[in-house]
Structure 1
Amino acid sequence: MSDTERLFPDNAGLDRAAELLRSGELVAFPTETVYGLGGNATDDRAVGGIFAAKGRPSFNPLIVHVPDIDAALAIAEFDVGAERLADAFWPGALTLVLPLRAEAGIAPLVTAGLPTIALRVPDHPVARALLQRAGCPVAAPSANPSGRISPTTADHVLAGLGGRIAAVLDGGACPVGVESTIVGTYPQPTLLRPGGLPAEAIEACLGAPLAAHGGGISAPGQMASHYAPDSPIRLNVTDARPGERLLGFGPMESDLNLSPSGDLTEAAANLFRHLHALDATAAPIAVAPIPEHGLGRAINDRLRRAAAPRD
């Protein structure tokens, strides 16, 4: 493939990106969570290209992005709980895993052979404008080589996938900074992956606690080793060893700090950007403790997977 185009979110850039998606090419684009690597979810060749560009294992399903709930209803079967969550949190950082409609025309690789599909309506003006113009459901995992640090800027995308994809639509930095929360609603509401929407908000909406995921790959982002830098990571420490770089949280001395004030929203937005920066130093990374509530659950999930033994 020739060099990856950098497009900008004006009319010309959006039209070009939509044209590329309709023709089966891959386009990275910003969402409020991270940059996604988009391909037409009804095009077998495009979906296969996503797996090839990322080096992603074929048993790991993809999230399909659509512009509105009507488009989602044409693809999946919604129960009462799913409808309630979609009404409350779409557009937003919530992905719902729902039974796939047989007539939806989704490429089989998208669901990795599962009878369910992961759907999201993103809350980012560039993403929504692109989805409207493309006129097709867009499968879009994070726009990075499989298992590596997720991208929150167009430069991150180009560093990992430059030359492997047709274009990146540069919409600046992603404001949330961690991937969407994934919930399955059948047979009971279950947290499949913590993310940019706190689980507490979902439980408040449903009026019931979310069940814990029972194991196995039933949604994206569940592999044990994921989001990983090249450098090794040591978690829940307050002092770096000689040669380590310390990623701090709260008021403390550190090489980089997710949030000096201890704000979890700020910490989530900075997580992958700071990991990219520390990884560029080629030094081992030590990470301060992060509270295990709200967005801290998503941050800790990403850090645990980043620190897990590599395959």
Structure 2
Amino acid sequence: MPTGAVHDRSDIAELAALLRAGELVAFPTETVYGLGADATNSDAVLKIYEAKGRPRFNPLIVHVADLAMAERLVEFSPMARKLARFWPGPLTLVLPRRPDAGISDIVTAGLDTVGIRIPDHPLARELIRAADRPLAAPSANRSGKLSPTTADQVVKGFQGLVPVLDGGASQSGVESTILAVEGETVTQLRAGALPRAEIAAAIGRPIAQAAHDARIAAPGMLASHYAPSATLRLDAEYPEPGETWLGFGPGRAGANLSPKGDLREAARNLFSMLHELDESATRIAVAPIPHTGLGEAINDRLRRAAAPRTPAVH
């Protein structure tokens, strides 16, 4: 089986064998494509950091097939169990790691907590079950670059060096929402595909937001992240000379995240459109996006994409 090829469901057994052997496999989720490795194998997890050029202090999310697998890895408080109602789905919970979990310290960046979720994509869960391993899996891109929402984007990003399980285009288009759960206190560490207001309504209490200078406790907390090669100017009312336009809502011609102003459509299109514009643009002007609902996650990704570049720390 060619290691860098695009594969379909018929190859899951072979891809699972690669994971058990300590190799990397990219796979689809409902949010973005992930770059997976056996979360219990430190050598395999190190390959994620090496392939991505990812800072070693930035922890990884662990993907599991079901609640039973999650319960073997982390401790669930009553509030955490209440939040698990959103699984499978685009929600990551940062929970205390069980002493006997077997998760590599490299996955957690030395923390005593683990970010964990059950992805809402049948091929992802099938691959995890076939591998019979929890999979550490950040987005399948070079560190700091745009997250991939198609198998072809993964192939291009890694020059065909990583096998990819093709599950079609990602449905959410932005990464999972990350919540830290300590007793009854819930704090959002990263805005994502599940809006904070929707979670708060379900649990009957407000959700705090982590400070911008909070310590790195979960992926997606670096100030500069998700960046195209082009520079971004946000909340633009019109493009200046030399800028390529990325719109939202009805208005001028050009690329548009959602001509009808639908935030879910905008989230699905965000990374794909930035990938497309980045092929030729050097400067991109982005129309204002509402900060309500999924707009919180969209604006978070745009703000990090527009932040000054910082060199990776290895």
* Pairwise CA distance, 1:163: 4.2
CA distance in 2 between partners of 1:189 and 1:260 (Å): 35
Which AA in structure 2 matches 1:249? F
The 8 Å contact of residues 148 and 229 in structure 1, kept in 2 or not, is answered as yes
Task: Say whether the 8 Å CA contact 2:249–2:261 is kept in structure 1.
Answer: yes
Equivalent residue for 1:255?
254
- 2:277 counterpart SS class: helix
Q: What code does the residue aligned with 1:6 have?
A: V
Asked whether the 8 Å contact 1:53–1:164 carries over to 2, the reply is no
1:201-260 alpha-carbon deviations (Å, 9 max, x no partner): 110122111111131201111000000000000000121011111110000114210000
Normalising by structure 1, what TM-score?
A: 0.96
User: Match of 1:239, as an amino acid?
Assistant: Y
In structure 1, stretches of 5+ residues that fail to align are: none
For 1:216, the equivalent position in structure 2 comes to 215
Match of 2:25 among 7, 24, 27: 27
Give the RMSD, CA atoms, in angstroms. Answer: 1.0
Contact preservation (8 Å) 1:246, 1:285: yes
5 Å-filtered alignment, 1:180-219, equals 180-187=176-183, 188-214=185-211, 215-219=214-218
In 2: Cα distance, 1:266 partner to 1:222 partner: 24
With 197-206 and 135-144 compared, the bigger mean Cα shift is at 197-206
TM-score (norm 2): 0.96
SS in 2 for 1:300: helix
Question: Does 2:144 align with 1:147?
Answer: yes
Query: How far, CA to CA, are the matches of 1:179 and 1:161 in structure 2?
Result: 19
Tell me, what secondary structure is at the counterpart of 1:104?
Answer: coil
Q: Which residues of 2 match residues 1-311 of structure 1 at below 5 A?
A: 4-9=4-9, 11=10, 13-86=11-84, 88-165=85-162, 167-187=163-183, 188-214=185-211, 215-311=214-310
Please tell me whether the aligned partners of residues 227 and 304 of structure 2 are also in contact (alpha carbons under 8 angstroms). yes
Q: Is the 2:63–2:134 Cα contact (8 Å) retained in structure 1?
A: yes
8 A contact 1:247–1:254 mirrored in 2: no
2-structure distance, mates of 1:68, 1:35: 19
Q: Is contact 1:97–1:117 with CA below 8 Å preserved after alignment?
A: yes
Helix, strand or coil at the partner of 1:32: coil
Distance 1:191 1:270 in 2: 23
State how far apart, in whole Å, the 1-side matches of 2:292 and 2:90 are: 17
Per-residue deviation, residues 133-187 of structure 1 (Å, max 9, x unmatched)? 110000000000000000000111011113443x111111001100000001115
Aligned AA (1:236): D
Residue type of the alignment partner of 1:91: P
SS in 2 for 1:126: helix
**Contact 2:191–2:297 at 8 Å: present in 1 too?**
yes
**C-alpha distance in structure 2 between counterparts of 1:93 and 1:162, whole Å:** 28
Q: Supply the distance in 1 between the matched residues of 2:250 and 2:160 (Cα, whole angstroms).
A: 41
Partner of 2:100, secondary structure, is helix
| Helix, strand or coil at the partner of 1:185 | strand
CA distance in structure 1 between the partners assigned to 2:167 and 2:69 by the alignment: 24
